[in-house]
Copies of this chain bind each other. A is one copy, B any other.
Amino acid sequence: MDGHAISMLGTGLISDFYTNTLHGQRGRDRVRVVYSRSDARGQAFRERWDIPESTTELAAAIEHPETDVVVVALPNFLHEEAVGLAARAGKAVLCTKPLGRTAEEARRMLDMVESAGVFGGYLEDLCYTPKTLKAVKAVQDGAIGDVTWVRSRETHPGPHSAWFWDGRLTGGGAIIDLGCHCIEIVRNFVGKGNRPVEVLCHTDTLVHPIADEDNAIALIKFESGAIGQFEVSWTFRGGMDLRDEVAGTHGTIWMNHFLRTGFEMFTAGGGGGYVAEKAETSAGWLFPVGDEVSELGYVDMFSDMFRAIDEGRAPQETFYDGYVVNAVMDACYRSAKAGAWAPIEVDWRGGTTERIAATPERFDGQVVIKREILPDGRHKLILKDEASGDFSDRVVAGA
């Protein structure tokens, strides 16, 4: 079966994860050429992953005659140039997160692929973890009723490369690095067509001697009334904490993607070696992850991207999604600065979403606020008289 030939731009950790995924298992797509600013790193990467060519020329990599897909795995400040070259070359372009440093920059990239008519995929892996995909489907199937509140947390002791810490190159701190994941995870659960209206955000620099935030929390209010909450930190101790929680009117979903996935190891030391991304110790109790590229969503992400290209459809995560995420992050920074809610300025294409449904049960002419099982098996109803606003208890036989 025919696969795709890829120009991989960048040789950092994320390029390793991407190529590990593409060349792993029985995949039919291959990296054909890799670009690095450093010839040595390019060579090393080439050998590490059995890639035919490496180059230090960005344009040469992108315009390589035998590739049809360009994967942008470069630092944030280099995305726009790379996307522009790829669009001009008429190739499908897949860009790592965040799309831009600002919504304005992301918007330009979106325009580039749209005006060139090329495929633009937003490489937001954490929206593709197997748990997330299954949970989103369960939510869409109605398993937890209407979504009321989505919490997404991504925290670790700080990124692994110097440029991540320099807001001039990235566009910000922990929000730009991690919040972008959370925002898009939240959007998948509340519905892509659910407009993010405004945000309330707090940023703080609690530990690291840097100019940008090393901790942040934000609330995103959606058109349906649902709240998206994200928490990001570069000061968490103990590894990488990736948890998502979805509350609905009829159910709850909890996902732990990293530190507690049913894999626990105690070692008195001596075995050495790699435990997991952002692990802090190599002795004592450790919590590895089975297959990181699968658990973190890389496998399903590339499958969706390449299938979308093959089928001529949009992928789950598009450049437009990346642009929306940037717009939300821009609003977060404005909100944090103002210490108040800030509107999200976005060119909305998503339609409208209805308010969270709330059709309470009725009993004996009153509204049932709650039904609780008592220790003796009977049911206790809390009733509200709508005329007086008074509340009363009513104990009835069990269902």
Distance in angstroms from A174 CB to nearest chain B CB is: 12
Does A397 sit within 8 A of B, measured CB to CB?
no
The contact string, 1 if C-beta is below 8 Å from chain B, for chain A 377-390, is 10010111010011
Which chain B residue shows the least CB distance to A26?
Answer: B27
Q: Are B219 and A202 in contact (CB under 8 A)?
A: yes
Q: How far is the CA of A229 from the CA of B215 in the complex (A)?
A: 13
The contact string, 1 if C-beta is below 8 Å from chain B, for chain A 265-282, is 111111111100011111
Does A291 sit within 8 A of B, measured CB to CB?
yes
A 285-306 contacts with B by CB, 8 A: 285-288, 290-291, 294-295, 299-300, 302-303, 306
A 313-367 contacts with B by CB, 8 A: 338-341, 356, 358, 360, 367
How many identical chains are in the complex? 4
Which chain B residue shows the least CB distance to A357?
Answer: B207
Q: Which single member of B208, B266, B341, B383 contacts A360 (CB below 8 Å)?
A: B208
Q: Are B251 and A143 in contact (CB under 8 A)?
A: no
Does A250 sit within 8 A of B, measured CB to CB?
yes
Q: Are B249 and A265 in contact (CB under 8 A)?
A: no
A 235-284 contacts with B by CB, 8 A: 235-239, 247-257, 260-274, 278-284
Q: Which single member of B271, B274, B391 contacts A163 (CB below 8 Å)?
A: B391
Q: How far is the CA of A225 from the CA of B202 in the complex (A)?
A: 13
Does A96 sit within 8 A of B, measured CB to CB?
no
Question: What residues of B have a CB within 8 angstroms of the CB of A211 in the complex?
Answer: 389
Count, chain A residues at interface, CB 8 A: 125
Distance in angstroms from A68 CB to nearest chain B CB is: 15
Does A375 sit within 8 A of B, measured CB to CB?
yes
Q: How far is the CA of A236 from the CA of B174 in the complex (A)?
A: 29
Q: How far is the CA of A26 from the CA of B309 in the complex (A)?
A: 13
Question: Known interface pairs A281-B284, A294-B294. Does A141 touch B273 (Cβ–Cβ under 8 Å)?
Answer: yes
Which chain B residue shows the least CB distance to A129?
Answer: B290
Does A135 sit within 8 A of B, measured CB to CB?
yes
Does A193 sit within 8 A of B, measured CB to CB?
no
Q: Are B207 and A249 in contact (CB under 8 A)?
A: yes
Q: How far is the CA of A278 from the CA of B374 in the complex (A)?
A: 9
Q: How far is the CA of A237 from the CA of B165 in the complex (A)?
A: 39
Q: Are B142 and A271 in contact (CB under 8 A)?
A: yes
Please give me the 8 A-B residue pairs with the lowest Cβ-Cβ distance, nearest first: A143-B271, A284-B284, A130-B290, A238-B266, A256-B262, A130-B291, A274-B375, A162-B391
User: Given A130-B295, A274-B376, 8 other A-B contacts at CB below 8 A?
Assistant: A1-B3, A26-B29, A202-B219, A235-B247, A237-B250, A251-B266, A252-B265, A285-B287
Q: Can you give 27 A-B contacts (C-beta < 8 A)? A: A26-B26, A135-B265, A138-B265, A141-B271, A143-B271, A144-B266, A144-B271, A165-B369, A165-B391, A204-B227, A206-B227, A209-B358, A209-B384, A237-B252, A237-B267, A237-B268, A250-B269, A251-B265, A252-B265, A253-B266, A254-B265, A274-B376, A284-B285, A285-B285, A285-B287, A291-B294, A339-B340
Which residues of A are at the interface with B, using a C-beta cutoff of 8 A?
1, 3, 24-30, 129-131, 134-135, 138, 141-145, 148-149, 157-163, 165-166, 200, 202, 204, 206-211, 215, 217, 219, 225-227, 229, 233, 235-239, 247-257, 260-274, 278-288, 290-291, 294-295, 299-300, 302-303, 306, 338-341, 356, 358, 360, 367, 369-370, 372-377, 380, 382-384, 386, 389-393
